[in-house]
Amino acid sequence: MTLEIKICGLKTDEAVEAALSAGADLLGFVFFAKSPRNVSLDEAVRLAALARGRAKIVALVVDADDETLAAIATRLAPDLLQLHGHESPERVAAIRAATGVAVMKALPIADRADLEVVPAHAAVADRILFDAKPPKTAEALPGGNGLSFDWRLVADLDPGRPVMLSGGLTPETVAEAIAVTGVSGLDVSSGVESAPGVKDPARIRAFIANARAADRRRASSRGSKP
């Protein structure tokens, strides 16, 4: 399976173009006021127009209400809604039915017990995203904290849906993440920034180049096995 790479939290034309030119498969726009990566719907629509047809558009929301979701679905027309809050499996199913948009449910992971909810969410979501559980502090965000978890917990885990990995991914760690987990999708945000919310084009290019190289090594290794 071809490795898919998502660059999330894009806010500028320069960042969008850097992600596209480097070969990103998905571009993520954050709709969460507390995040330094938050964008308005108007701005997301404008930025997405630069990428439409070149990469999939992802809208990240956190426990969004029906009115907000309807507006995003109608005006942005994303390929994927990323649900990064406390959405229950029932809420995930309801959002998918109401918007008609495919959904990716983010699941925070810290230990093996956190994997118990995977089957219920996999039954209703189109994709699953494994992210590091945020710290219990007032400043912590649902994602984009730059923290990793023990990737061995999700090594070769197959919930019957495409899986993406997030949390602590950087140009320096992405090769290890691919080797350890075997995942077919990566989602990076803070790991390609020079400051919170400020994407670094050089780090975006390095992340994607290193990920592709690691994926080629993985494919070569599998192909050489008897």
134: Cβ–Cβ under 8 A, 6 or more apart, which residues? Answer: 108, 140, 141, 142, 143, 145, 147
Q: Kindly compute the dihedral angle of the four CA atoms of residues 160, 57, 16, 87, in this order, to the nearest 10 degrees.
A: -70
For the question of residue 158 being annotated catalytic, the response is: no
In the annotation, is 8 catalytic? yes
Catalytic residue among 13, 131, 158, 215: 131
The residues annotated with a catalytic role in the active site are 8, 131
